[in-house]
């Protein structure tokens, strides 16, 4: 598996990655809870041009001396059947540092996860994506009449999914 989009913490915990982002060895050595207030660090990968460091509640990437961080946000309840878009506060001080955004959508019974930018071959179109990012908000949207329109995605009782924001700092 190659890390080309924002990876989940479960994939990266104590895994060894090549400089190109390939998972060499999947691991489970990172403790689930780190001491409060202690900046425990664990080097997960160290290549000639890239390294990944896992800290309590943070993932840092250093690529050619450029530091990247991943912010993980819940997508709040969103009735995708009737609402075309949702606004989420990204909580970053400078939205121009955002490099990439990846949104994963849960269906109503949380049995499946779909990328918001899922491409439906039958329809020949992307089913959603990032509409815009401004100083405070990340705006996600779905295709009207697309795969996310329907009763499988209309509950407002659950968080709709998760957003991974890759940014420089």
Q: Which domain holds residue 106?
A: 71-168
Q: Is there a domain that residue 2 lies in?
A: no
Residues 80 and 149 both lie in one domain: yes
41-53: per-residue pLDDT in tens? Answer: 333 344 445 566 6
pLDDT at 23 over 60: no
Domain count, the chain: 2
| Domain final residue pick, 18, 46, 64 | 64
DSSP the chain: -B--SPPPHHHHTT-EE-TTSBEEE----S-SSPPTT---EEEEEE-SSEEEEEETTEEEEEETTEEEEEEEEEEPP--TTT-SEEEEE---S-GGGEEEEEEEEE-TTSS-EEETT-EETTTTEE-EEEEEE-SSEEEEEE-TTSTT-SGGG--SSS--EEEEEEEE-
pTM for the predicted model, two decimal places? 0.67
Q: What is the pLDDT of residue 19?
A: 47
């Amino acid at each position: 598996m190659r890390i080309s989009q924002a990876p989940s913490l479960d994939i990266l915990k104590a895994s060894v990655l090549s400089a190109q982002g390939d998972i060499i060895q999947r691991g489970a050595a990172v403790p689930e809870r780190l001491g409060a207030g202690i900046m425990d660090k664990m080097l997960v990968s160290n290549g000639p041009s890239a390294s990944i460091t896992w800290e309590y509640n943070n993932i840092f990437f250093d690529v050619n001396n450029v530091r990247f961080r991943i912010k993980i946000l819940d997508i709040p309840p969103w009735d995708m059947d009737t609402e075309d878009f949702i606004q989420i506060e990204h909580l970053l001080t400078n939205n121009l540092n955002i490099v990439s955004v990846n949104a994963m959508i849960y269906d109503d019974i949380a049995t499946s996860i779909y990328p918001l930018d899922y491409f439906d071959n039958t329809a020949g179109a992307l089913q959603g994506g990032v509409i815009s990012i401004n100083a405070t908000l990340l705006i996600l949207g779905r295709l009207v009449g697309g795969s996310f329109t329907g009763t499988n995605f209309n509950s407002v009782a659950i968080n709709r999914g998760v957003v991974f924001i890759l940014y420089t700092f």
